[in-house]
Structure formats: C-alpha cells, structure tokens
C-alpha cells in the first residue's frame, strides 16, 4: 500500500502489566461477506481479493467500528450517555454501525461503567481504555492506538464520533466502498460551507479576509464554498494508524448533506440536535409505529397533586393542551386508553371526554394492558406507555415506546425511551403525543428510503452522478497528523 511518511508514533506510556488489567478481547463474529458487498453495491473480483491480500495480508479484511466515549466530557457532562430523542447518544451511532451489515466488530472505548453498560445493551462490545488515554490532554489517535494494539486481527478502523447521531448506514457504505473497491487508505467525512472567514485581530492589527475578496464579494450561488471536516467518522487502514495518523496514504473525503451534520458541544446544541434527529436521524430499519397509547393518568394527564376544598372536596388539575394532544392521536387512528390506581370523578370525566377506555383501581397494569393488546391484535412493540412512578416500571420496560414526564421517578426516567421536557399534567403528555406523530409522519417515506438504501443500492450508485460527485480524492502526498484531530 502506498502511503506518505508520517511522524514517529507517540505511544501511550502504558506498561504491559497495566494493559493486561484492561481485560481480554471479546469473541468476535464476522459479518456475512455476501451481505457486506451487497450493501456496498459491488462484487469482489479475484483481482480485488488479490489486492486485499497484498494490502491486508488476507482476502477478507477485518473491519472494526470504534466509538470513543469517555466519561469526562466537559461541555455537557456525561453527554455520551445522555438520552437524545429517547436513546443514549452513543446508541444512535451503534445502531447505524450494526445496521450497516459491513462491520466485523463494533466497539465502544470508554473508562466509565455506565457508558459500558449502555454500549453492551445497544449491541456493542466494550474496550475498557486505560486511565492514561482518558485524560483531557489525550487526542483520539492515542486512544485508537491502544485499541489497535489489543486487536491484531483488525485491518480497517472506522472511528465514529458519538456526537454524530444523524449518521446513516449508507454513509458507512459509501466510505467503505471507497476503501475496499477504490483502494483508498483513509476516508473521512466533510460538509460544504459558505462562510466568509476573517483573521482574528490581535494587538490592534486590522482583520483581513482569508477566503474571499471583499471587492468581489461572491453570491452564494456563484461560489462552491469550502470543504470542512464534520467529524462523523474517520476510516483508516491499520497501516495508516501505525504511522501515528488518522488520515494518510491515498485519501478521500465524503461530502455529507448538511441535514445529517450536527455539532453537540453545549446544552443549546443539544436541543437543536434533538430536533434535527427527529427529522433526519436513523431510527432503524423498522422504526417504532405506535397503535395503542396507554397512560397512568396520575402524574401524566393529571399533575399528581390533590387539593382539598373547605367542604372536603378533592380537586385535581390538568392542562388542556394534553387533551388536544390525545385528540390528535385519535384523529390519526391511534387508540388511547387509561389506567388508574385509584378512582375519582375527575379521571372518569376525562376518560369520558376522550372516549377512552378506563381501568380504575388497577393494581396489575401489565396484565390489563396485555389483555387490551390481545383484544386489539397487537404486539408489545405496537404499544406506547407513559408513566411516572415505580409502579409503572414493568409497563415502561415492556412497551415498544415508553415515556415519562420530566419529574418522574429517577428509575423510570432511566428506562424510558422518551423523557418529556415538561412535568406531569403540564404538557408532558402533549409532547409525547407529538413525538409519536412525528414518527408516524416519517413512516410515510421511511419504507421507501429503507428500500432504497438496503435493496437498490447498486442501481442507485450507478445512476447517481451527484453521489459520485460528492466524493473527492486528495493528493497521495498529503497527510494529517492524528494529533490535529480533536479528541472526543
């Protein structure tokens, strides 16, 4: 493999005995080669296999995804394990890697127990990184290098950043096709931007433009813009990594459409990313479709508080927007039902207003909902459930889409797919209803998108000049040191 000279690799100062304490490699199961190449849209020829034998020492190179997710993130504490759109941040990219069907192994490199538990639950294996490569001063390459030294079987590393929740499997297919079929040693993702850049004035020096002439200021449509890394992923061969690089050898970049790119560094970014995710994120091959919504009325539709009047009458309150949310569900053909642990006139009046079946004095919610499920001919994946207290736990865990208000019991929040930004009885149910309807709206086109990606990829590639045009190769003599790539 032809590659440029790189700097002497800076190895992490971790002793052999310390490395032994990090744990043994998990057993790996290679993906189906036939399926892999179908996803990427080409069939390996004898000539290609001979080239792979030369490059990697084997005819079937081992491809490993590595997601760097330390517990010490600064801008947003523990952001890698924080729920975004109902799923932990690392869960989105793990899902994309799993569903790409081209990875032999998928790993999360972390130093934190909670992140490790989430990674395993989402289907990834865990590399327990050493404390030495988990410091704020460590760059990404140092952490990748520690992983690579553990896994001599790995030939191609796909470093996916957890902060890229809108990554889709087809983005990975495109990049890996460049690596395997077209012979690139490193591939990274970029976006095209049209910003006019200026120097940062210091010591009284006047700023001057860096990428345009103010006397000939171009219109956007007259300027192709600039290519900027978005950090969604960095693919590299083992040979490039061993040079201390994440980008080197024969390089190419893949231009991602802007809707798939998000930056998550502050709390404000988080809210923006969540809205982008609802519309453009990858929600799996078969996204959840809810056909029955059940709520524990106390703490969700009602605010969970009881006021007693001077005459001894019990008063409960609710927010009318929650009622509107339920009515929108019903207008879209989604059944709505209610369970309650007690009985009172308010909940009966609300259920009657909504024409919703109500089960009062319900001590076994799971059994009641399961009976409703069978009555309607549904599976548990078709059921949405919103609860707020520990008594809702079994239903929260069982439902295909579970939710809770922002003031729900901590354990309920931990197991819910969706956590509202509102309190119970104060708009939480309306927000949950809107989330369900957003998913339903996406389903109108999602099946077509999934079919395009997974079934018709070869035809799509050959017929799409724009997709080809978005891929550019870089000079073989260029390389970028891994230390210049921001650490996660």
For 229, phi then psi, to 5°, come to -60, 140
Q: Look up the CATH architecture of domain 292-445.
A: 3-Layer(aba) Sandwich (3.40)
Task: Kindly provide the b/e burial profile for residues 309-330, where b requires at least 16 CB atoms within 10 angstroms of the residue's own CB.
Answer: eeeeeeebebbeebbebbeebe
| CA–CA dist 396, 196 (Å, integer) | 49
- Looking up tokens 């980008």, which residue turns up? 247
Q: Under a CB-based contact definition with an 8 Å cutoff, are residues 306 and 345 in contact?
A: no
CA 472 to each of CA 237, 241, 254: distance values in angstroms, whole numbers, following the listed order: 18, 21, 7
CA 165 to each of CA 60, 102, 126, 189: distance values in angstroms, whole numbers, following the listed order: 29, 19, 19, 14
Category of 148 on φ-ψ map: left (φ > 0), alpha (ψ -120 to 50) or beta: alpha
Q: Under a CB-based contact definition with an 8 Å cutoff, are residues 382 and 400 in contact?
A: yes
CA angle 213, 214, 218 (to 5 degrees): 75
Q: What is the DSSP string of 215-242?
A: GGPPPGGG---EEEEEEEEEEEEHHHHH
DSSP-derived 3-state class of residue 187: strand
Residuewise pLDDT in 10s, the chain (488 residues) = 333 333 333 443 343 333 333 333 333 445 678 889 999 999 999 999 999 999 999 999 999 999 999 887 777 888 899 888 778 999 999 999 999 999 999 999 999 999 999 999 999 999 999 988 887 778 899 999 999 999 999 999 999 999 999 999 999 999 999 999 999 999 999 999 889 999 888 777 888 899 888 999 988 888 888 999 999 999 999 999 999 999 999 999 999 998 888 878 777 788 788 778 877 888 887 666 799 999 998 889 887 665 566 666 665 666 788 889 999 999 999 999 999 988 888 888 889 889 999 999 999 999 999 999 999 999 998 999 999 999 999 999 999 889 999 999 988 988 888 888 898 988 999 999 988 887 665 444 434 443 444 444 343 334 333 344 345 555 433 444 333 333 33
Q: What is the DSSP string of 454-484?
A: HTSHHHHHHH-HHHHHTEEE--TT--EEGGG
CATH 3.90.79.10, applies to 16-284+456-484? no
| Statement: the pTM of the whole predicted model exceeds 0.85 | no
Q: Where in the chain is the domain with CATH 3.40.50.1000?
A: 292-445
DSSP-derived 3-state class of residue 163: coil
Distant-in-sequence, close-in-space partners of 242: CB < 8 Å, separation ≥ 6: 9, 148
Length of the chain: 488
Cα dihedral 75→77→83→87 (10° resolution): 90
Res 15: pLDDT: 38
Q: Which residues are catalytic?
A: 217
What is residue 267's DSSP assignment? H
| CA–CA dist 168, 157 (Å, integer) | 18
Q: Under a CB-based contact definition with an 8 Å cutoff, are residues 185 and 239 in contact?
A: yes
Res 288: pLDDT: 65
As a three-state string, the secondary structure of 360-385 is CCCCCHHHHHHHHHHHHCCCHHHEEE
| CA–CA dist 273, 337 (Å, integer) | 32
Q: Where in the chain is the domain with CATH 3.90.550.10?
A: 16-284+456-484
CA 304 to each of CA 217, 221, 363, 429: distance values in angstroms, whole numbers, following the listed order: 60, 56, 17, 13
Cα dihedral 42→258→74→200 (10° resolution): 120
Q: Under a CB-based contact definition with an 8 Å cutoff, are residues 133 and 146 in contact?
A: yes
- Which helix (H) or strand (E) segment is 269 a member of? helix 267-280
Which is nearest to 425 in space by CA: 440, 407, 437, 443? 407
Q: Under a CB-based contact definition with an 8 Å cutoff, are residues 437 and 328 in contact?
A: yes
């Amino acid at each position: 493999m032809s590659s440029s000279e790189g700097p002497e690799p800076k190895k992490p100062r971790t002793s052999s005995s310390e490395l032994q304490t990090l744990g043994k490699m998990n057993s790996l199961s290679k993906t189906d080669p036939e399926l892999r190449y179908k996803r990427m849209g080409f069939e390996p020829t004898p000539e290609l296999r001979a080239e792979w034998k030369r490059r990697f020492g084997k005819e079937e190179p081992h491809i490993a995804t590595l997601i760097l997710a330390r517990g010490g993130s600064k801008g947003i504490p523990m952001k890698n394990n924080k729920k975004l759109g109902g799923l932990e941040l690392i869960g989105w990219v793990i899902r994309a890697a799993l569903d790409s069907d081209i990875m032999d192994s998928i790993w999360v490199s972390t130093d934190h127990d909670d992140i490790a538990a989430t990674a395993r639950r989402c289907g990834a294996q865990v590399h327990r990184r050493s404390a030495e490569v988990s410091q704020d001063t460590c760059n990404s390459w140092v952490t990748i290098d520690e992983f690579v030294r553990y896994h001599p079987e790995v030939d191609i590393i796909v470093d996916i950043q957890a902060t890229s929740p809108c990554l889709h499997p087809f983005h990975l297919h495109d990049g890996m096709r460049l690596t395997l079929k077209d012979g690139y040693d490193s591939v990274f993702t970029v976006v095209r931007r049209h910003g006019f850049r200026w120097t940062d004035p210091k010591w009284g020096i006047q700023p001057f433009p860096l990428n345009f002439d103010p006397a000939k200021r171009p219109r956007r449509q007259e300027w192709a813009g600039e290519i900027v890394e978005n950090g969604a992923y960095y693919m590299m061969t083992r040979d490039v990594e061993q040079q201390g690089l994440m980008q080197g050898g024969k390089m190419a970049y893949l231009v991602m459409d802007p809707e798939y790119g998000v930056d998550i560094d502050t709390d404000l970014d988080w809210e923006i990313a969540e809205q982008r995710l609802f519309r453009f994120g990858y929600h799996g091959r078969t996204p959840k479709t809810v056909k029955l919504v059940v709520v524990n009325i106390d703490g969700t539709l009602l605010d969970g508080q009881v006021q007693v009047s001077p005459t001894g009458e019990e008063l409960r309150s609710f927010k009318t927007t929650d009622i509107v949310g339920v009515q929108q569900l019903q207008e879209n053909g989604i059944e709505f039902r209610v369970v309650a642990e007690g009985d009172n006139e308010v909940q009966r009046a609300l259920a009657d207003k909504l024409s919703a079946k109500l089960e009062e004095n319900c001590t076994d919610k799971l059994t009641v909902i399961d009976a409703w499920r069978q009555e309607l001919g549904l599976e548990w994946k078709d059921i949405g459930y919103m609860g707020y207290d520990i008594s809702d736990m079994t239903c929260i865990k069982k439902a295909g889409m579970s939710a809770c208000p922002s003031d729900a019991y901590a354990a309920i929040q931990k197991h819910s797919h969706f956590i509202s930004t509102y309190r119970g009885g104060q708009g939480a149910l309306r927000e949950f209803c809107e989330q369900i309807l957003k998913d339903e709206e996406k389903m109108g086109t999602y099946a077509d998108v999934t079919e395009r990606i997974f079934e018709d990829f070869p035809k799509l590639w050959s017929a799409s000049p724009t997709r080809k045009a978005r891929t550019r190769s870089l000079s073989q003599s260029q390389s970028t040191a891994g230390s210049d790539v921001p650490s996660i």
